A and B are shown apart, each in its own frame.
Chain A
């Protein structure tokens, strides 16, 4: 199992990152009136987890922990739905990394933003289609949420890279990929 390969320190760091993600999300509440702004903090922390652990699977682990924590604490509104909201983009990002081996500091890392946002948008559309929305209307919501999520995901990744560089410069993470 993917989750079993982490050392205790790595998994604790992932857990604490998820914790900080949930705490910040409830503290900040960027009231921009646009859905998709959670992709900013999400993609930032996902990339930090990947950078710090250097292993595929760390993003899914972080997403799972963040989803479980916000489900337990009632941050946001939806029980099982919120778990999917965190886990879907995380799994998409991990899957991308599994298929294309991407160097963390290269420009192609932004492909993670695309796949993450796509998963984010798909989740919205799938729920609406399940609730009985006509498929073309659901496809339109997918397009809208993907576009919104994409803007924030690109922002999150762009903000994570300098922070990762700084962490590396201070020798706080030692991974050959960074």
Chain B
């Protein structure tokens, strides 16, 4: 997972708390749509600052690629519909979309998933806050399980390598022999986790929501 890359610990301690980070990124995203055209200049400066903060995170190519593809598509659409004189308007649209993306990208790379997750957990019902934290902590295990089953099926001779998957003909095989066993594993995992939680008095005990997330920090 990109979000768990080793470059994260080298980041300095966040100067603003995750809750404020979420609020900041949400409001910047909304502003990118709502601000008048002149307001885009300060927004661009702020976004550049945010990007500079997470410059070591990597994954720049995707952002640039997205920008180029969007620009090309929008310009093509405008040229087709209105002729080439509206190129500036089309560029502003793409720029607004990119400005709306940057704060979310910053949020994901600036804070550890557990930190941001604790903020969202406050808005969710207790059971779903637990599910979110469980899903987050089980993600490496599930990804590992997926890779293992995938490799085993490939050794068996199933045509499910990335090269095969370029062709839709092989998708059915992928779903049947990789995803089906994976779903069985997930059903088992869900039952075991639910039993474990019940044994620890999940439903009877008045446990504060944030406790699930504090346990994560000790890892």
Binding partners A and B: yes
Q: Within the assembled complex, what's the spacing in Å between the Cα atoms of A173 and B132?
A: 23
Taking the closest CB of chain B, its distance from the CB of A89, in whole angstroms, is 19
Interface residue stretch chosen among A16-24, A98-106, A112-120: A16-24
**Residues of A close to B171: CB separation below 8 A:** 40, 155, 159
Least CB separation from B104: chain A residue? A79
Interface residue stretch chosen among B41-49, B151-159, B187-195, B204-212: B187-195
- Docked-complex contact B101 and A68, CB < 8 angstroms: no
Are A15 and B104 CB-contacts (below 8 A) given A77-B62, A79-B29, A137-B78? no
Least CB separation from B197: chain A residue? A8
Q: Within the assembled complex, what's the spacing in Å between the Cα atoms of A26 and B105?
A: 15
Taking the closest CB of chain B, its distance from the CB of A105, in whole angstroms, is 17
B136 interface residue per 8 A CB criterion:
yes
Interface string of A123-166 (1 = CB under 8 A from B): 00001101111101100110000000000000100011011001
**Interface of B, helix, strand, loop or mixed by DSSP:** helix
Are A141 and B77 CB-contacts (below 8 A) given A69-B135, A77-B63? yes
> Which residues of B are interface residues toward A (Cβ below 8 A)?
1-3, 25-26, 29, 33, 59, 62-63, 66, 74, 77-78, 81-82, 89, 92-93, 96-97, 100-101, 103-105, 107-109, 113, 116-117, 120, 125, 127-128, 130-132, 134-136, 138-139, 142-143, 146-147, 162, 165-166, 168, 171-172, 175-176, 179-180, 182-184, 186-187, 189-191, 193-194, 197-198, 202-203
Pick from A20, A61, A81: contact of B100, CB under 8 Å: A81
Taking the closest CB of chain A, its distance from the CB of B117, in whole angstroms, is 5
- Docked-complex contact A16 and B78, CB < 8 angstroms: no
- Docked-complex contact A23 and B143, CB < 8 angstroms: yes
**Residues of A close to B139: CB separation below 8 A:** 19, 22-23, 69, 73
- Docked-complex contact B101 and A77, CB < 8 angstroms: yes
**Residues of B close to A48: CB separation below 8 A:** 183
Q: Can you give 22 A-B contacts (C-beta < 8 A)?
A: A1-B125, A10-B190, A12-B193, A12-B194, A16-B138, A30-B165, A44-B179, A69-B132, A71-B104, A71-B107, A72-B120, A74-B2, A79-B101, A80-B104, A81-B101, A130-B33, A131-B92, A132-B92, A134-B81, A137-B77, A160-B175, A162-B176
Q: Within the assembled complex, what's the spacing in Å between the Cα atoms of A19 and B166?
A: 23
Candidate in B125, B147, B180 with the most chain A CB atoms within 10 angstroms: B180
**Besides A28-B165, A61-B128, A75-B3, 9 other CB < 8 A contacts?**
A3-B125, A8-B197, A14-B131, A52-B187, A73-B139, A77-B62, A127-B33, A128-B97, A130-B33
**Interface of A, helix, strand, loop or mixed by DSSP:** helix
- Docked-complex contact A13 and B190, CB < 8 angstroms: yes
Are A82 and B104 CB-contacts (below 8 A) given A16-B138, A132-B96? yes
Pick from A12, A13, A20, A72: contact of B182, CB under 8 Å: A20
Least CB separation from A48: chain B residue? B183
Taking the closest CB of chain A, its distance from the CB of B48, in whole angstroms, is 17
Least CB separation from B106: chain A residue? A79
